[in-house]
Amino acid sequence: MDKILEAVMMSPHSKVVKQGMVRRVVESAPQPLDSSQCKAMFHVSTKLFLLGESQFKRDAGREVLEAFARHHLLEFEEFFNVRFVLNLLRDGYPPLTKRSPQIFHYLQVGLRFVSDAPSAPDLFHLLQIEVLRIVCERPGPELCEQLARLLARCPQCVPSGNLQTVFCQQLIQTIRLFQCQSQQDDDIVTFLERVTKTSGMLQTVWRANVATILPSLKELFIVISTPGEGGSVPSNALASMVQYVPLELMEGAVRNLTNDKNISDAQMLTAICRMIDWLSWPFTKNTDKWVIALMKGVAVVKKCVILIEVTLAKIEEVFAKLFYPIVREGALSVLSYLLLSFQQSPEAFHLLLPQIPPLVSCLTAEESDSARHCLHQLVELIHCLLMRFTGFPDLYQPVLEVIKDLPVPSEQRMKQVLSQGAWTPQRADQVSMCHRLTPKSETGKTGLVNLGNTCYMNSVIQALFMASDFRHAVMALKNCDLLPLMGKLQRLFAFLQHSQRPAVSPDSFLAASTPAWFNPGSQQDCSEYLKYLLDRLHEEEKKSGQKSQGPLEGQDNGTLIKRMFGGKMVTRIRCLRCQNISQREEDFSDLSLALPPPNHRQDGSFILSPSPAIVEGARLSPPMPVRRQGRSPSPPRRQERDVTVIPVETVGSVNRADSHGADEAPGNEAPASWGEQARSPDVSLSVPDLINFFLTPEMLTGDNKYHCQKCSSLQNAEKVVEVTRAPHYLILTILRFSFNLATMRRRKILDNVSIPLVLKIPVRLPQRRPESVGAGEAAGEAEGSAYVSVTYDLASVVVHSGLSSESGHYYCYAREGETPAGDDPARTPTAGSQWFLFNDTRVSYSSFEAVSNVTAHFPKDTAYVMLYQLRPTRRAEADGRGVPAAEALCSEEPLDKELIEAIAKDNKLHLQEQERGVRHRAALSPSAAEPPVWLKDPRGREQRPYLTRGPCIERGVEGGVPAS
């Protein structure tokens, strides 16, 4: 019968004839047969089963084999013996090779009939050894799937005893080599299914023997922490086994790994990076939980450098996975942890800013539950980080625009979210040491590394550096041995000017210039720091006895700080009873400008203009009203006792916020939830308003009466302040912080103060010397003029972003370019001037428009310190001597040879660091491998929503980024 069956199956007869023949053979199986006949039927059916050219022949062979094995068990046991099985697994079934999946299918069928036979133990023992041997030979996914089916149906074939641990370890080594080579969706699905079934073999062993789990996890860690050889990296298919690890073992496993002294930081970093890559693996669970648990374990042992490197290296890839619904949930969980734990620096968040608008558009277009949930969490996360990392208006504007119509979480909710999961570095400067090796800014300018809440210093240093006359003077100093702090400033300026680094670290200058009462790592007041710094530099030069020859004439014995920033003012107090006037002259390096109270009448401001006759006891002339910007022009100048009053003016300033109307200046009001008092939006202030308020006479009455020496009693009096010598650089500080007695906290005044490009202030002349004043510059050309109008051009603005002086962020806008000479009010420094935004390590191009509108767009960002530069022309000083044009200040002498060598050495070191950094990241990042095919751009093939991105691609929404 075996020959008839084989002949019919090989004949050209129809399929119906063949089916009939198979049916008759199967029906004859119960009939008694001798051993040779049974063996012949087993051989024929085996041949059809394994070598049939069609599925019909293979199915026919299986059906005949099962029928005869069922009715002739003893004969089948003799046929299906250890030697036969061993030959199948070692040599195959010619022409089938030993790795043919059909062989394992055949074994599954045969083992069903011999599982209870006397020879079964020997057969299963053989199969246990052979299964382990096959796994050690690193079979592909297809063969592993058949092996998994075999073990699932015949658990007796699973290696036993100590071999179980070896089997799991070798299976992990096999899975690490799996790669999907096809781009077709059906092939991709098949690959994913085969990997899932293969990793299920681990679950089978782990359930039977829990003791094999930890050795398996150690083997897995070795695989993912070892640098790839020849550019190869472990397959993301390893992620498929994570779901089978019991979560109750997570804490202990992580603790063992993070406390193992034999595991280096580089190994841990590589392992975490590769686990993050596992987020690309679909249809699996708990990968995100293991990634987060491992990073938390690293934070516990304070290896924060690892966390910094991991975050900066992988956060963009994690974010890109949010475009794909299939892996979105786990990616969002890890992204939230990375961002909320990395709160020492905005760098990680800023890496994502360009991709946030495209992702928001994609999620909005997708219209799925997954997209809506992701969008809600993403927007909440964005608002939290915008509150945490304030002070980047140019970066945040596009993001705010795309989420403006989405719900905003409450401030309490944002604080709650930010308080979760933040880790603290071992040293305050660890974050700054781990910045990416980014190229230098396209502006050519060099940034300053934030050494832990040192933005207050960085913004001040950048403002001083961009003050070109001061910078040139500092750089030209020689022999700074007696001026240690000035020498460090010179060195820092030199590196900012000539370094090839994108940012330099001011650690040495910070240590030398920080006031003793400043707490390291805490936010400080930049104005307080600036005053302290200038005072230290001034006193240092005085005590050294070294006279630095300055470029300003007529100030022979002054220090560099005094020549650049020193001004003089006179405070006069007039007793209203006896008309006696006392006066006190003092130096100043900056003017602190208070904001007028809300009920202050701007029209009631005056500049007191006493004449020499008043000092002699003559009757006081009535004060002249001050002209206000934006109001009707002031009346013609008039003279009282040969005294001319000059108002504070602005020239070339931008329109005020109130000129746009409330609807055209969104964000001009601070949100009520901030709890900060702001001036009515109908009332807008400007820098000239604050200066006029500063110069307005103050009435000393009530508890504030003045003790008149002439009257020998407390009397009502009037106090006035006048500038008698204008500094080369005028520093203005807006007093924005006040103490709230109700809350016992300092609060910030959020009023918007418009900043003019050009500012004119009146400077009081001590005596009438019209011959010393240039034509057209004095307050009045007539003899007897008492004031000179001094013109300043805006050089830099330090902005404070935040709600209190104890928190927030400082950044600096600064300008470079030639300032127009002459005193023509129509000429402004706009032409030929380029504005820059200095924000710690980041330097970008900006504009005066951005400076002017920063508070309108970001209500918490307010101008705090402004630096104005004297317009380069000959002016009348308080002592009547001339000031040469600023062009004479710009002749920069060569740097000291030692300093030049230090900069050249550091530039060479930077290039070497760049090369090492590229090699280092290439070695540790698994992203060098090809991205998973199911997350590649699906253009050119049929899209399946569970494998590709959401419908944003089909709808033409831009911004899709393939994940790695």
- The whole-angstrom separation of Cα 107 and Cα 112 is 9
DSSP 219-262: HHHHHHHSPPGGG----GGGGGGGGGS-GGGHHHHHHHHHT-TT
Secondary structure class of 794 (helix, strand, coil) = strand
Please count the CA atoms within 13 angstroms of the CA of 841 that sit on its side-chain side. 24
In sequence order, which residues have a C-beta less than 8 Å from that of residue 306 and are 6 or more positions away?
265, 268, 269, 272, 298
**Assigned token pair, 49:** 């089963």
DSSP H or E stretch at residue 896 = none
Q: Which helix (H) or strand (E) holds 814?
A: strand 809-816
Of 751, 798, 870, nearest to 531 by C-alpha is: 798
* DSSP 8-state class, residue 629: T
Beta carbons of 816 and 466 less than 8 angstroms apart: yes
User: Going by C-beta distance under 8 Å and a sequence separation of 6 or more, which residues neighbour residue 113?
Assistant: 66, 69, 70, 73, 76, 77, 80
Q: Which residue do the tokens 């990375």 mark?
A: 338
Handedness of CA 48, 52, 56, 62 (dihedral sign): positive
Please provide the DSSP assignment of 427-470 as one string: STTHHHHT---PPPPTT---EE---SS-HHHHHHHHHHHH-HHH
Instruction: Give per-residue burial for 203-218: e unless 16+ CB within 10 Å, then b.
Output: ebbbeeeeebbeebbb
Q: Is 578 in the active site?
A: no
**152-186 residues labelled b (16+ CB within 10 A) or e (exposed):** eebeebbbeeeebbbbbbbbbbbbbebebeeeebe
- 357 touches 399 (CB < 8 A): yes
The strand order across the sheet containing 581-588 reads 581-588, 567-575, 717-725, 698-700
Pairing of β 834-839 and β 717-725: unpaired
- Determine the Cα–Cα distance for residues 789 and 764; give it in Å rounded to an integer: 9
Query: Given the structure tokens 């090699």, which residue do they identify?
Result: 919
3-state secondary structure of 574: strand
Of 813, 820, 100, 804, the closest CA to residue 394 belongs to: 813
Give residues with Cβ within 8 angstroms of 369, minimum separation 6: none
Catalytic residue among 374, 434, 455, 575: 455
CA distances from 641 to 382, 764, 773 (A): 64, 15, 20
Question: Which residue is associated with the tokens 């050089």?
Answer: 795
Cα(788)–Cα(590) distance, integer angstroms: 20
Tokens encoding 930: 């090809």
373 is a catalytic site residue: no
Among residues 180, 708, 809, 812, the one annotated as catalytic is 809
Contact 803, 857 (CB under 8 A): no
- Angle (deg, nearest 10), helices 304-320 and 328-341: 140
Residue 122 structure tokens: 């020997």
Identify the residue whose tokens are 């020492």: 344
Q: For residue 855, what are the contacts with CB-CB under 8 A and spacing of at least 6?
A: 668, 750, 752, 753, 861, 862, 863
User: Within 13 Å, how many C-alpha atoms sit on residue 211's CB side?
Assistant: 7
Active-site residue set: 455, 809
